[in-house]
């Protein structure tokens, strides 16, 4: 339905206008009909539209440009071998708590025995942090409907065309040269993990192999092993193709420090002209969502980068910058509030009125998220705002001690039939007896006689990262008989999370807890 949101509007447009008071007009087509001062005349068709006087900040929904959501029910992985030299080392971790039993097997079992519940849980976890678009969708046995979030990997924009290529695993150099480079023709993007490891490590060769793809549309994830000279070469190669374009680096500082005790030289990347976006990475080595990752970026910026980025530039990393990076494929759809863009919106309590609105965003926690709209539809928020926005089929939940509601169930969707309590029950059932749950799921897949891309096929999720040493069980279609699926990672940054961070003893990560006190 058509809707008007009033408050302090952070447009993140080219001029970074802050409209106070401002009004955002959401059309019933899921698009922004107008963004203007509250005193200005409303556009046609909004004379009788519901008006929400939020008394809060209204801004674009946050964009997480790097994740692996099939694993996001799992807690932080306190791996014994840190710091690792590069990404191939931790995958082969065989000392307790090893990678296969801590991550691979729990994710496999949950993803195949309770796939719809897993997708709903990790989507709500992202919504709790104001996320409206996320990268890192799992491979599925068939297409999934009833998405709560915008899944960047599968979004068909514009005009029903999927123009986003992704690869979490390294591709053969010949594939990069002959296939992916040709597809980066100015109408597509490639989100690609590159050089994840310590500077000077062997993974630097991944950047060398990526040379043919240094074109507009390349979005490089991590790039921790790259030097200032590498970033300069990257940006020079991109502008050589299109002088108006910028390369994009996706920064995941908590995951970098957790696994490698170092992080990407994003100051050098920024100085060379590349744009920086944030990604929260997966829950075994990341934050709960990009609202949390923004705080890690802020702390690293203050304590390691001498305040190189100002508050607005940090906030751009979860809004305008990823939106602009995706615009190569999508056009100007997300990350900025402007007429015709997608109505992906976040309403955020202005919890520190004396601070500027950008500082309010950086220091906001899950407690301050009041409403999240995706495609103009209310997905999560306070009971009052969800009701005023026309939400239906909602469930109650408690987040950081506060009452919230979420619209998980979507009538008519085969993959979104569960209410929130049903999501929790389905995941708990798998945890109680993972072996029985696994066998039941395998039986259902085996008994299906049709193709797995059929909408009626059983749904199953498959992770996008290496499995590590899963032993002989996988070949036999079995799981370890003593497998333990850990408790669900909480929706918020809680005491359990911060205890694990404290045990890591990584200095750069100890500042995060201060934002939640």
Fold type of domain 3-60+334-406? Urease, subunit C; domain 1 (2.30.40)
pLDDT tens sequence across 396-421: 999 999 999 999 999 888 888 999 99
pLDDT of residue 25: 98
pLDDT for 452 beyond 80: no
Residues whose CB falls within 8 Å of the CB of residue 254, separated by 6 or more in sequence, listed in order = 280, 281, 285, 286, 287, 292, 293, 296, 509, 512
Buried b / exposed e over 195-226, threshold 16 CB at 10 Å, is: bbbbbebebbebbebbebbbbbbbbbbbbbbb
- Given a cut of 80, whether residue 362 has pLDDT beyond it is yes
The fraction of the chain above a pLDDT of 70, given in percent, is 99
C-beta contacts of 417-425 below 8 A and 24+ residues apart: 417/116, 418/116, 418/117, 418/120, 419/393, 419/395, 420/120, 420/124, 420/395, 420/396, 421/395, 422/117, 423/117, 423/120, 423/121, 423/124, 424/117, 424/121, 424/488
Does pLDDT of 474 surpass 80? no
- Bridge partners, 276 (sequence order): 249
**Euclidean distance between CA atoms 100 and 48, whole angstroms:** 57
State the CB neighbour count (10 A cutoff) for residue 514: 10
The Cα–Cα gap between 450 and 454 comes to 7
- pLDDT value at 270 more than 90: yes
**β partners of residue 3:** 26
Q: How far is CA 282 from the centre of its chain?
A: 9
In this prediction, residue 469 carries a pLDDT of: 77
Q: What's the CATH number for 63-332+496-516?
A: 3.20.20.140
Helix, strand, coil share of the chain (percent; to 5): 35, 20, 45
Domain positions in the chain = 3-60+334-406, 63-332+496-516
User: Residue 12 pLDDT > 90, yes or no?
Assistant: yes
Question: What is the pLDDT at residue 475?
Answer: 63
Structure tokens at 514: 């201060």
For residue 468, the model assigns a pLDDT of 83
Average pLDDT for the chain:
95
Residue 254 CA to residue 284 CA, distance in Å, equals 11
- Here the tokens at position 45 are 């068709």
Going across the sheet that includes 189-194, the strands are 164-167, 189-194, 218-222, 248-251, 275-278
pLDDT band at 40 (very low <50, low <70, confident <90, very high): very high
Q: Is the pLDDT at 472 greater than 70, yes or no?
A: no
Per-residue confidence band for 1, with pLDDT thresholds at 50, 70 and 90: confident
Beta strands 164-167; 189-194: pairing state: parallel
């Amino acid at each position: 339905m058509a809707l008007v949101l009033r408050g302090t509007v952070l447009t993140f447009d080219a001029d970074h206008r802050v409209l106070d008071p401002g009004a955002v007009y959401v059309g019933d087509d899921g698009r922004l009909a107008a963004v203007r001062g509250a005193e200005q005349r409303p556009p046609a068709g909004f004379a009788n539209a519901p008006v929400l006087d939020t008394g809060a900040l209204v801004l674009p929904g946050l964009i997480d440009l790097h994740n692996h959501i099939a694993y996001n029910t799992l807690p932080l992985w306190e791996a014994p071998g840190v710091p690792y030299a590069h990404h191939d080392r931790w995958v082969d971790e065989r000392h307790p708590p090893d990678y296969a039993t801590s991550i691979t097997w729990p994710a496999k079992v949950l993803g195949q025995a309770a796939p719809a519940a897993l997708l709903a849980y990790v989507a709500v976890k992202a919504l709790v942090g104001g996320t409206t678009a996320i990268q890192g969708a799992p491979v599925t046995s068939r297409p999934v409907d009833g998405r709560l979030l915008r899944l960047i990997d599968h979004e068909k924009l514009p005009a029903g065309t999927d123009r986003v290529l992704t690869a979490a695993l390294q591709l053969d150099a010949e594939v990069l040269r002959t296939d992916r480079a040709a597809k980066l023709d100015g109408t597509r993007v490639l989100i690609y993990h590159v050089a994840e490891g310590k500077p000077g490590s062997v993974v630097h060769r991944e950047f060398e192999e990526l040379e043919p793809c240094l074109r507009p549309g390349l979005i490089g994830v991590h790039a921790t092993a790259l030097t200032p000279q590498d970033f300069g070469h990257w940006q020079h190669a991109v502008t050589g193709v299109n002088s108006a374009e910028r390369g994009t680096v996706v920064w995941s500082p908590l995951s970098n420090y957790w696994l490698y005790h170092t992080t990407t030289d994003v100051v050098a990347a920024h100085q060379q002209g590349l744009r920086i976006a944030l990604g929260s990475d997966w829950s075994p080595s990341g934050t709960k969502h990009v609202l949390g990752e923004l705080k890690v970026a802020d702390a690293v910026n203050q304590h390691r980068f001498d305040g190189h980025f100002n508050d607005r530039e940090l906030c751009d990393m979860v809004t305008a910058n990823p939106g602009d990076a995706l615009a190569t494929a999508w056009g100007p759809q997300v990350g900025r509030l402007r007429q015709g863009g997608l109505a992906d919106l976040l309403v955020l309590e202005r919890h520190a009125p004396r601070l500027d609105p950008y500082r309010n965003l950086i220091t906001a926690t899950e407690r301050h998220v009041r409403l999240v709209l995706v495609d103009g539809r209310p997905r999560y928020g306070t009971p009052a705002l969800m009701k005023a926005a026309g939400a239906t089929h909602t469930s109650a939940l408690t987040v950081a001690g506060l009452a919230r509601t979420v619209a998980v169930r979507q009538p008519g969707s085969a993959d979104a039939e569960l209410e929130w309590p049903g999501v929790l029950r389905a995941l708990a059932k798998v945890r109680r007896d993972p072996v029985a749950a696994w066998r039941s799921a395998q039986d259902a897949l085996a008994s299906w006689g049709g193709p797995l891309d059929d909408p009626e096929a059983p749904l199953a999720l498959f992770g996008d990262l290496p499995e590590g040493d899963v032993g002989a069980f996988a070949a036999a279609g079995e799981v370890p008989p003593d497998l333990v699926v850990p408790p669900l990672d909480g929706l918020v940054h809680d005491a359990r999370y911060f205890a694990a961070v404290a045990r890591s003893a990584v200095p750069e990560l100890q500042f995060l807890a201060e934002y939640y006190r």
